[in-house]
A and B are shown apart, each in its own frame.
Chain A
Amino acid sequence: MVFRLKFLFVLGIIAANSLAQTTFPTNGAPNPVHTIYAFTNAVIHIDHETTITNGTLVFQDGKILAAAEKAVVPTGAMVYDLKGKHIYPSFIDIYSNYGLPEVSKDAKTPPAPSQNKGAYGWNPSIKADVEAYKTFTHNKEKADELRKCGIGVVLTSNKDGIVRGSGSLVHVSNQKENESFIKDKAAGFYSFTKGTSPEPYPGSLTGAIALLRQTYYDAKWYKENSSKTEYNISLEAFNQLQALPAIFEANDKYNVSRAAKIGSEFGIKYIIKGGGNEYQRISDIQELYSKFIIPVNYPEALDVEDPFDAEQASLAELKHWEMAPGNAAAMEKNFVQFCFTSADLKERSQFLPNIRKAIKYGLSEKTALKALTNNPATFINAQSLVGALRTGMYADFFISNKNIFEEDAVIYQHWVNGQGNIYDDINAPDIRGNYQMDIANKNYKVTINGEQNKPGGTVKVDTTKYKLNINFKNNLATFSFDYDSTKTARLSGNYDQNKKTIEGKGQWADGNWFEFKMSFVSADTSKTKAADKKEKINIGKVYYPFSAYGEPLPDDGVFKTAMQKFKNRYDAILIKNATVWTNEGDSVLKDHDVYITEGKIVRIAPNIDAPKLAFAKTIDAEGKHLTAGIIDEHSHIGLSGGVNEWAQASSAEVRMGDVVNPEDINIYRQLAGGVTTAQLLHGSANPVGGQSQIIKLRWGLNAEEMKYQNAPGFIKFALGENVKQGNSPPGNRFPQTRMGVEQVYIDIFTRAKNYKKTLDDFSKIPPKQKGTVIAPRKDLELDAIAEILDGKRNITCHSYVQSEINMLMHVADSMKFKVNTFTHILEGYKVADKMKAHGVSASTFADWWAYKLEVMEAIPYNSAILTKMGVNTCINSDDAEMGRRLNQEAAKGIKYGGLTETEALKLATLNPAKALHIDDKVGSIKVGKIADLVLWTDNPLSIYAKADKTIIDGQIYFDREEDAKLREEIKKERARIINKLIAEKNKGGKVVKPSGRRRGLDHCDTIEGEE
Chain B
Amino acid sequence: MRKNIFILFVFVSIIAFSQNNTATKAGKRVLLMNGVAHIGNGQVIENSYIVFYNGKIEMVADAKGIKLDLKSYDTILEIEGKHVYPAIISPNTILGLQEAEAVRPSSDFSEVGGINPNVRSLIAYNTDSKILPTVKTNGVLYTQCTPRNGLICGSSSILATEGWNWEDAVLRADDGIHVNFPRSIQKNGWWAEPEPSGKNTKFDEELIALNSFFEEASSYCKSPAGAFENNVRFEAMRGVFNGNQNLYLHANTAKDIVLAVNFSKKHNIKKPVVVGGKDAWKITSFLRENKIPIMLNRIHDLPELSDDDVDITFRTPALLAKDSVLYCLQMEGDMEAMQSRNLPFLAGTSVAYGVSKEQALQSITLNAAKILGIDDKVGSLEMNKIASIVVSEGDLLDIRTNKVIAAFINGKPVDLVNDQQRLYEKYKTKYGLK
- Do the two shown chains form a genuine complex with each other? yes
Asked if B400 is at the interface (CB within 8 A of a chain A CB), the reply is yes
A721 interface residue, CB < 8 Å from B?
yes
Assess whether A849 is in contact with B338, with CB atoms less than 8 Å apart: yes
B305 pairs with A998, CB closer than 8 A? yes
Query: Closest CB of chain A to B307's CB: distance in Å?
Result: 4
Interface centre among B198, B300, B423 (most CB of A within 10 A): B423
**Docked complex Cα distance between A642 and B300 (Å):** 24
Q: Is B168 an interface residue (CB 8 A)?
A: no
Q: Is the CB of A970 within 8 A of B307?
A: yes
B310 touches A672 (CB 8 A): yes
Q: Is residue A157 contacting chain B, with contact meaning CB distance below 8 A?
A: no
Of the candidates B302, B307, B341, which one forms a contact with A1001 in the assembled complex, judged by CB atoms under 8 Å apart?
Answer: B302
Contact indicator A943/B431 (Cβ below 8 Å)? no
Q: How far is the CA of A860 from the CA of B341 in the complex (A)?
A: 12
Q: List 20 A-B contacts (CB under 8 A).
A: A311-B307, A847-B341, A850-B335, A859-B420, A861-B420, A861-B423, A865-B428, A894-B399, A895-B402, A897-B424, A945-B352, A963-B310, A970-B307, A993-B198, A996-B185, A996-B198, A997-B195, A998-B194, A998-B305, A1002-B192
Per-residue 0/1 for B342-368: is the Cβ within 8 Å of any A Cβ (1 yes, 0 no)? 100100110111000000000000000
Complex Cα distance, B421 from A967, in Å, reads 45
Within residues 360 to 417 of chain B, which ones have a CB less than 8 A from any CB in chain A? 397-400, 402-403
Inter-chain contact A943/B398, CB cutoff 8 Å: yes
Interface of A is mostly: loop
A314 proximity list for chain B (CB < 8 A) = 305-307
Chain A residues with a Cβ under 8 A of chain B: 308, 311-312, 314-316, 547-549, 642-643, 665-666, 668-669, 672, 721, 727, 829-830, 832-833, 847-853, 855-857, 859-861, 865, 868-869, 880-882, 885, 888, 891-892, 894-897, 901, 904, 937-939, 941-946, 963, 967, 970, 974, 993, 995-1002, 1006-1009, 1011
State in angstroms the CA–CA spacing of A920 and B76 once bound together: 55
Q: Are B192 and A944 in contact (CB-based, < 8 A)?
A: no
- Contacts A861-B420, A895-B403 given; indicate if A993 touches B301 (C-beta within 8 A): no
| Contact A548 B424, CB 8 Å, known A881-B300, A1008-B192 | no
Contact (A881, B335) CB under 8 Å given A852-B100, A942-B398, A1011-B190: no
- Asked whether, in the complex, the Cβ of B400 is within 8 Å of the Cβ of A548, the reply is no
B198 and A995 form a contact (CB under 8 A): yes
Nearest CB of chain B from residue A1001's CB, rounded to whole Å: 6
Residue B286 lies at the interface, judged by CB distance under 8 Å to chain A: no
**CB–CB A851/B100 < 8 A:** yes
Residues on A with C-beta less than 8 A from B101 are: 850-852
A996 contacts across to B, CB distance below 8 A: 185, 196-198, 305
Check A315 against B335 for contact (C-beta < 8 Å): no
**Contact among B300, B335, B351 for A848, CB-based, below 8 A:** B335
- Tell me the complex Cα distance, A1001–B303, Å: 12
Query: Which residues of B165-214 have CB atoms within 8 Å of chain A's CB atoms?
Result: 185, 187, 189-199
Determine how close the nearest CB of chain A comes to the CB of B282; give it in whole angstroms. Answer: 8
Contacting pair B196 A995 (CB below 8 A): yes
**Residues of chain A contacted by B310 (CB below 8 angstroms):** 549, 668-669, 672, 963
Residue of A669, A832, A996, A1000 contacting most chain B CB atoms (<10 Å): A996
A221 → B minimal CB distance (Å): 35
B321 to chain A, nearest CB (A): 16
CA distance A678 to B397 in the complex (A): 28
Q: Which residue of B lies closest to A829 (CB)?
A: B427
Instruction: Establish whether residues B193 and A1000, one from each chain, have CB atoms under 8 Å apart when the complex forms.
Output: yes
* In the complex, chain B residues 321-338 whose Cβ is within 8 Å of any chain A Cβ: 334-335, 337-338
B89 at the interface (CB under 8 A from A): no
Query: Complex: how many Å from CA A672 to CA B352?
Result: 14
* Residues in B neighbouring A939, C-beta threshold 8 A: 400
Question: Which chain B residues border A882 with CB–CB below 8 Å?
Answer: 300
The one of A312, A861, A1002 that contacts B424, using a Cβ cutoff of 8 Å: A861
Give the docked Cα–Cα distance between A829 and B426 (Å): 10
B427 surroundings in chain A (CB, below 8 A): 829-830, 832, 865
The answer to whether the Cβ of B254 comes within 8 Å of any Cβ in the partner chain is: yes
CB–CB B194/A1000 < 8 A: yes
- Is A850 a contact partner of B337 (Cβ separation < 8 A)? yes
Is B216 an interface residue when CB atoms closer than 8 A count as contact? no
* Contact partner, A943, options B195, B303, B348, Cβ 8 Å: B348
A869's nearest neighbour on chain B, judged by CB, is: B431
Q: What is the chain A residue whose CB lies nearest that of B306?
A: A665
Beyond A312-B305, A851-B101, whether A995 also contacts B197 by CB under 8 A is: yes
CA–CA, A1007 and B398, complex, Å: 36
The closest CB in chain B to the CB of A672 belongs to: B310
Q: Which among A547, A549, A672, A856 is the interface contact of B100 at CB below 8 angstroms?
A: A856
* Interface residue B5 (Cβ < 8 Å from any Cβ of A): no
With A312-B197, A830-B427 as contacts: A852 and B102 at CB distance below 8 Å: yes
Q: How close is B359's CB to chain A, nearest CB, in angstroms? A: 14
Task: Tell me the number of A-to-B contacts counted with CB atoms below 8 Å.
Answer: 178
Kindly list chain A residues whose C-beta atoms are within 8 Å of the C-beta of B196.
Answer: 995-997
Q: Quick one: given A853-B102, A868-B433, are A997 and B399 in contact (CB under 8 Å)?
A: no
Q: Does B238 contact A (CB under 8 A)?
A: no
Residues of B within 8 A of A897 (CB): 424
Tell yes or no: B251 within 8 A of A by CB: no
How far does the Cβ of A95 sit from chain B's closest Cβ, in whole Å?
A: 25
Q: Are the CB atoms of B400 and A895 closer together than 8 Å?
A: yes
Q: Determine whether the beta carbon of B420 is less than 8 Å from that of A308.
A: no
- Verify if B28 is at the interface (C-beta below 8 Å from A): no
Residues of B within 8 A of A (CB): 99-103, 130-131, 185, 187, 189-199, 253-255, 282, 300-307, 309-311, 334-335, 337-338, 341-342, 345, 348-349, 351-353, 397-400, 402-403, 420-421, 423-424, 427-428, 431, 433
Task: Look across to chain A and name the residue whose beta carbon is closest to the beta carbon of B300.
Answer: A881
In the complex, the chain B residue whose C-beta lies closest to that of A898 is B434
Given A851-B100, A852-B102, the answer on whether A943 and B302 have CB atoms closer than 8 Å is no
Expressed in whole angstroms, the Cα–Cα distance for A436 and B297 within the complex equals 71
Identify the closest chain B residue to A721 (Cβ): B102
B358 to chain A, nearest CB (A): 14
Among B99, B195, B198, B338, residue most surrounded by chain A Cβ atoms (within 10 Å): B338
When A665-B306, A943-B348, A946-B352 are in contact, do A881 and B398 touch as well, CB less than 8 Å? Answer: no
CA–CA, A672 to B311, complex, Å? 9
Within the complex, which residue of A856, A942, A1011 is in contact with B400, where a contact is CB–CB below 8 Å? Answer: A942
Instruction: Please give me the residue from chain B that is nearest to A315 by CB atom.
Output: B307
Question: Residue among B303, B310, B397, B424 with the most chain A CB within 10 A?
Answer: B310
If A865-B428, A943-B345, A1001-B192 touch, whether A666 touches B302 (CB-CB below 8 Å) is yes
A489 vs chain B, min Cβ distance (A): 43
Expressed in whole angstroms, the Cα–Cα distance for A832 and B309 within the complex equals: 42
Given A314-B307, A861-B420, A881-B300, A895 contacting B399 (CB threshold 8 A): yes
Q: Give CA–CA (A880, B192) in the complex, Å.
A: 12
* A548 to B99 CA separation, bound complex (whole angstroms): 40
A721 and B195 alpha carbons, distance in the complex (Å): 28
A945 to B, closest residue via Cβ:
B352
Complex Cα spacing A939 to B103, Å: 39
Apart from A855-B100, A895-B402, 17 more pairs, CB < 8 Å: A314-B306, A832-B431, A850-B131, A851-B100, A861-B423, A865-B427, A897-B424, A941-B399, A943-B345, A944-B348, A946-B352, A997-B195, A998-B187, A998-B194, A1000-B193, A1009-B193, A1011-B190
CB-CB nearest in chain A for B254: A308
Nearest chain A CB to B138's CB is how many angstroms away? 9
B contact residues around A855 at 8 Å (CB): 100
CA distance A1007 to B309 in the complex (A): 29
| Contact partner, A998, options B197, B309, B433, Cβ 8 Å | B197
Which of the listed residues B189, B353, B427 has the most CB atoms from chain A within 10 Å of its own CB? B427
Known: A308-B253, A851-B338, A860-B420. A1001 touches B191 (CB 8 A): yes
CB distance from B258 to the nearest CB of A (A): 9
Q: Which interface residue of B103, B307, B351, B423 has the most chain A CB atoms within 10 A?
A: B307
Taken together as a complex, chains A and B put the C-alpha atoms of A882 and B307 apart, in Å, by 19
Q: Is the CB of B423 within 8 A of A311?
A: no
Contacts of A895 in B (CB 8 A): 399-400, 402-403
